[in-house]
Structure 1
């Protein structure tokens, strides 16, 4: 077969596009490549460099802010290269970047299933859930759960009409591994949970004549695991509470015999509503080596055993400082009761970079001390359950790494995960109060404080203390709440204060259900926050004991007082970055706080996930 006469033209266009991409002219790159791959030409598939051009086109569309089209062409690439890890990674990057509407095609769903068959669902729950809803049979089952009466749902369950939903592999994977932050799914799962409980566990002839099959047990186990991941955030009615109370009595009576035929099924039903760790003498029950747990319960039992191990670890955590002041003590108590997030995804980086190279990916033209070419000393102030420090040591070359938090429960989770991931010696976890570190003798090249300063009694004083621990020329990464982006949170906090509601599990569940039911129209935007779908995170979102919020002019003023220089923002989704660059082309690296303030005036919710500030302390003269 003679070569296609178009090949020389396509080769020239590809070469030109590569040059344009190196110059970061992504719009021009996309225009050039569109002439080759953008029209879906079948002839182009015979061209030897077609896959390279397809990958470059998807990337150029992404950098140009057109995430939806980038995802379409990345899907085409994966259909050609289903086993290519780089193509899979870029597909996940596009999902994470946020796309308004997913491609509605069988090809996209096939690629999605293939990718997540070998990936952690982690942060992609919304995209996966939306894709599931594009399947007609799955969507019909969800619609039935949303609209039918309880008796109709129970009848549908017995008739097997919900099996398409209950056996969907991606759905089961979601339930075992991630929150699903969509109100549709919460309502559907809450109603299905009730139907499962009343059909199979409630006393009476219906339960005696109906027994779950293998498929139902697998789903009940997955739903119990999901309830644990949400920390039992969904509301329940009196009928459910009565049955759950009877199940507890049955379990407590047979605690010494957890392998008895009736005990483990009862535990599975109970675990859809309550943690097994609430049962008497739970340590003796769940650590018995002689008990062979049912397959559908094993993942949940592993999580409970991990929690029991954390209780031992918490007592072993060293204290670096005392807890100073009433606010610090109240914050400590909150996170002892509700440590979060209970993350599971292993934050593995493809390779560890020097801190200089890592920072260059989101903070340009930095003048850094020589230490940033080697192992940097790092302090994380307010490390919570350890996701940030563990992720960071996976990404950059670190020397001394000190991670501090008020909560021993949070630190115990962090220490267990670090040990589990082979990083026990990489991070030094200690209990400490930032406000008590003024006389601490160590200094650090890099300090991170994500979501912690705004919970202090005097945030500026805490910030000043951390600035004193930063070496000259060092970098500080700080995340703070935006006043503009948290107006709905402010309304919720005001309502809570007016009613004097306490942060008890039952009160939080009732409040969440009222918001889901539309009783507080002004609070409806809270349904878009991932934090809404986990009880500890919901408490942190609207029931926190102490919260300060910021505007960018206020931050600029405080940076001047602290002697810190603003470098850039980090953590913004690619579409927002593209919008900023389009609005402020003379400041493409986003180095002006004044420009960011104008951007936020135009887009008040841009910093819903907090301001991510990259700051630098001036070096020695």
Structure 2
């Protein structure tokens, strides 16, 4: 599934609160009226905006944008009871509208209805708002105030007392969207990570002193522990903090062994420093009664990892893993399966299709054979399986740990058209199968010989078939090359402690490493290892790609749409009147002048010519 399709399928994730795009209209002029209402709302001319919204609703009672705007204006007036009723009407018309769920969550929080606020915030995140969660969190006055205090002394540390005062983390704990986001997705922000590191240390001291904690604090501690589990404990910590956390862990294990009472705050804080499934005897925790927040934490840190262990026995091995580099790469992804994702990226798309709002194209309805070569933890395969529900998807990866995670997530989503197997791409030529479509994004450049692996995939592609490939750019990844050289010079190893130490050193030199600090992968242990510590990384050029395509009779179908539309504008200006988006020679000349263009990867499609 290409980037354009993903954007179309998940368009609601781009609807920020109060800024949803105008919806189509069954009546003449409704779209124009909705645009006018939005304009008046933006100018805070609420009377005019309300009048236009009512006119629209008289003609189309379920018009979501108008209902959303009326709800936002009720919020602005402090009338949250009216606001939640209006948002409920909007959600009844469009249950997968992330913005409406987020707005409803804000009003329910203002009404002190924590359960409904969290439910709507969690729904908004599941519907795509996770991609912008950091931006919404940063709108919180509480969060920005704390970050400002830290920045005032950075890079020198502040004390918890200076930062939080007598409230400790209570004000953060009351931010229910923050709590929901902590449980749902990696929060990729240096400023936020530093703040949450202070919060974790404050909770550690509280639990170590055996201070009582109310449900609000326990809930926040559990949410923070889930965030730490998602990012695989990437946060930095001082030696003293690590020793205190170790002592609290030991106390917990002693109490567990002796069947003594365990305070929920103690369990939550230990889980914020150590994955519970990796500690001895912790299955006994599942036999105790816990508050809802702790039960949710145990599900993520104990039940699900146990389920993944059970999944391993159901995964077939299609090929041997015998290449020396392949063995090293496998070891890396066994230790750090990548990427660790939590939210189905096509939730809104799947809901719309189930309700008949979107109709699959003929290609999407076809019974295709699709190969995902290097599926990692399954996000890619799951997207393809949802877009092509009648396809037979074979998803292979070198890491059994990654595949087990993928199988668990696939089972949770109720998908039945994916077959997972362990295999080395270099050996796939022996499986005796061919495919209508092959996808291998972000994988070939980790092989001992990328072009050897690519040749194997070409041999498995049927004539007339299509292939989607993602490869690292030599020009774009200069900063990665610099960072990898720095890692060697400073002798950072691939241990968790050294990766944490490396990340903290990069934070201290933030100005030099902005591209790294802006990359989401930097904010999890597996992501950072994949980004900076990979055991094998090849970087390619467009001329090398073009030569391979020519040699193997493959036609270039174009790069995927860019997140920044200005890239294509620049490309067309550079070649006025002759710009051809399928001309790799032009793209090479363009990249030389704009080396950051393919920072993520070259991601493109090719077709296999029929001979």
Fold similarity call, TM over 0.5: yes
Instruction: Give the corresponding residue for 2:5.
Output: none
Note if 1:351 corresponds to 2:358: no
| 1:189 paired residue among 193, 196, 210 | 196
Q: How does 1:167-206 map to 2 (within 5 A)?
A: 167-201=174-208
Alpha-carbon offset, residue 470 of structure 1: 0.6
Which of 402, 411, 417 is 2:403 aligned to? 411
Counterpart Cα distance in 2 of 1:263 and 1:39: 53
CA distance in structure 1 between the aligned counterparts of 2:98 and 2:128, rounded to whole angstroms: 13
Q: State how far apart, in whole Å, the 1-side matches of 2:565 and 2:71 are.
A: 17
Q: Deviations over 1:301-346 (max 9, x none)?
A: 1122111221232244211010121000000000100002222212
Deviations 1:489-537 (A, max 9, x none): 111111222344320000000000001112x753332100000100011
1:297 matched residue in structure 2: 294
Tell me how far 1:442 sits from its aligned partner: 0.9
Aligned residue for 1:549, secondary structure, equals coil
Question: Which residue does 2:372 correspond to in 1?
Answer: 380
Question: Which of 326, 329, 337 is the equivalent residue of 2:324?
Answer: 326
Match of 1:607 among 598, 602, 605: 598
Distance 1:182 1:500 in 2: 26
* Contact 1:176–1:222 (Cα < 8 Å) also in 2: yes
Secondary structure of 2:144's match?
helix
Aligned to 2:457: 466
Q: 446-455 vs 126-135, which deviates more?
A: 126-135
Secondary structure of the structure 2 residue equivalent to 1:118: helix
Q: Is the CA contact 2:374–2:396 (under 8 Å) kept in the aligned structure 1?
A: yes
How far the C-alpha of 1:173 sits from its partner, in A, is 0.6
- Listed one character per residue, the Cα deviations across residues 556-601 of structure 1 (whole Å, up to 9, x for unaligned) are 1221122211112225315346636764686899333334334434
Distance 1:51 1:478 in 2: 48
Instruction: Tell me which residue corresponds to 1:66.
Output: none
Q: Tell me which residue corresponds to 2:476.
A: 485
The offset of 1:89, in angstroms, is: 6.0
- C-alpha separation between the residues in 1 aligned to 2:314 and 2:291? 33
Q: What is the DSSP-based 3-state SS (H/G/I as helix, E as strand, rest coil) of the residue aligned with 1:297?
A: helix
State the distance in 1 between where 2:71 and 2:570 align.
25
1:195-344 map, 5 Å: 195-201=202-208, 207=209, 210-256=211-257, 260-262=260-262, 264-282=264-282, 284-286=283-285, 288=286, 290-303=287-300, 304-344=302-342
**Per-residue CA distance 1:279-316 (angstroms, 9 max, x = gap):** 1234x435x4x322333322221122111221232244
- Select which of 542, 546, 549 maps to 1:556: 546
Match of 1:63 in 2: none
CA–CA distance in structure 2, aligned partners of residues 396 and 251 of structure 1: 48
Query: Matched residues in 2 for 1:233 and 1:150: separation?
Result: 19
For residues 580 and 461 of structure 1, do their structure 2 counterparts lie closer, same or farther at Cα, with a shift above 3 Å needed?
same
Give SS of 1:119's match.
helix
Q: Distance in 1 between matches of 2:319 and 2:450?
A: 18
Candidates 123, 136, 145, aligned match of 1:140: 145
For 2:294 and 2:309, the matched residues in 1 are separated by 22
CA contact (8 A) 1:324 1:436 kept: no
Q: 1:392 to 1:352 in 2, by over 3 A?
A: farther
In terms of mean alpha carbon deviation, does 292-301 or 370-379 score higher? 370-379
Would you say the 8 A contact 1:233–1:534 is kept in 2?
yes
Q: 1:299–1:72: structure 2 CA closer, same or farther, 3 Å change rule?
A: same
Distance 2:127 2:531 in 1: 21
Aligned residues: 549
Secondary structure class of the residue paired with 2:565: helix
Alpha carbons of structure 1 residues 15 and 420: separation in structure 2 relative to 1, 3 Å: closer
SS of the counterpart of 1:474?
Answer: strand
Q: 1:48 to 1:244 in 2, by over 3 A?
A: closer
| Equivalent residue, structure 2, for 1:438 | 429
Residues 211/154 of structure 1: CA separation in 2 closer, same or farther (3 Å cut):
farther
Q: 5 Å matches for 1:541-552?
A: 541-552=531-542
Counterpart of 2:389 in structure 1 is: 397
Residue of structure 1 equivalent to 2:135: 130
In 2 relative to 1, CA 447–511 (structure 1 residues): closer, same or farther, beyond 3 Å? same
Q: CA deviation at 1:459?
A: 0.5
The equivalent residue for 1:525 is 515
Superposition CA RMSD, Å: 4.1
Structure 2: gaps of 5 or more residues: 1-26, 42-47, 76-82, 111-116
**What is the CA–CA distance in structure 2 between the aligned matches of 1:467 and 1:554, rounded to whole Å?**
16
Mean CA deviation greater in 239-248 or 370-379? 370-379
